[in-house]
Amino acid sequence: MSSVKNVIKDSYKLMLLKDYLRVAIKEAGFSGVDIQKTPTGTRVGLHVTRPGIVIGRKGSGIRDLTKVLEKDFGLKSPQISVIEIPRPELEPSVMCNRMSQHLARGTAFRRAVMWTLQTIMEAGAMGVQITISGKLRGERSSFEKHSKGILPRAGYQAGIIVSEDIVHVETKMGLIGIRIRIARKEKFVPEFEMKARKEVVAKKIVEPLLEEKEGKEDEVEVLDESKIDPSKPRTESEAVAIEEKLIETVETFEEVEEELK
């Protein structure tokens, strides 16, 4: 088999794995997966908002997921590590899943769009663009594009700063597609940077983080139920249910136009 076919085959398997994880660990706020092949097996890094759900009680969730990855997806000796996302509001995949749940619950699509825009910008994003398409109002398909902040569209900076994700949700009207693009300030690469300053930052920030990460790679975290805050939502469904009440207070363009008349 040629190298091109191998690349296509690996990409196809990764796509199937992402689709499976998006559904299997949806309540944990799945964002992405990193796969690295090693001489001893395969390292699988799962980026989620709630690691406790993936790990399970005494590591039961990790063991079940390891069996599935090895049997159904053909990964050799998978070693799963769960990585917590510090700011889920800046992850397009997480926000796509939350917005799709709002639409599935019957929330008006423009209210869901306005709420998602507001949430992402308040989290510290440089800019955001949400495109929603499908049978939004009537029998004919249409699309709407809403933007806020600064979002590079092309060039070197756009490839580094902007991340995006696409998700589809089934509603009573039909299939609706959601595309979210988020530009993050911390990924911005300045045109000029002092070399001495760069070395100081690497020594003070980057190296300690790498040492801490290397020490924790082989550790298996066990969920401590005593540390769980009961006031915070435990799953993505609970978070969406809380947001659903707050979305009702968001003003849409139609309401603003009526007030101005």
pLDDT digits 0-9 by tens, 120-142: 999 889 999 999 999 888 778 88
pLDDT of residue 261: 53
Contact 183, 161 (CB under 8 A): yes
Are residues 163 and 128 in contact, defined by beta-carbon separation less than 8 angstroms? Answer: no
* pTM exceeding the 0.85 threshold for the entire prediction: no
* The pLDDT of residue 76 is above 50: yes
Least confident of 65-69, 92-96, 151-155, 253-257: 253-257
Query: What count of Cα atoms within 13 Å lies in the side-chain half-sphere of residue 45?
Result: 12
The secondary structure of 160-184 as a DSSP string is HHEEEEEEEEE-SS-EEEEEEEEEE
pLDDT in tens, 14-52: 888 888 888 888 888 888 888 888 888 888 888 888 888
pLDDT > 90 fraction of the chain, expressed in percent and rounded: 11
The DSSP code sequence of 10-30 is: HHHHHHHHHHHHHHHTGGGT-
Which token pair is 241?
């249910």
Structure tokens at 139: 């029998």
What was the pLDDT predicted at 182? 93
Please name every residue paired with 43 in a beta bridge, in sequence order, or none if there are none.
36, 79
Domain ranges, ordered by start, for the chain: 3-84, 88-202+222-261
Superfamily of domain 88-202+222-261: Ribosomal protein S3, C-terminal domain (3.30.1140.32)
Q: Sort strands 78-84 and 142-149 into parallel, antiparallel or unpaired.
A: unpaired
Predicted local confidence at residue 226, as pLDDT: 46
Here the contacts of 223-226 (C-beta below 8 Å, separation 24 or greater) are 223/52, 223/55, 223/56, 223/57, 223/58
| Residue scoring higher pLDDT (11 or 225) | 11
Instruction: Domain 3-84: give its CATH code.
Output: 3.30.300.20
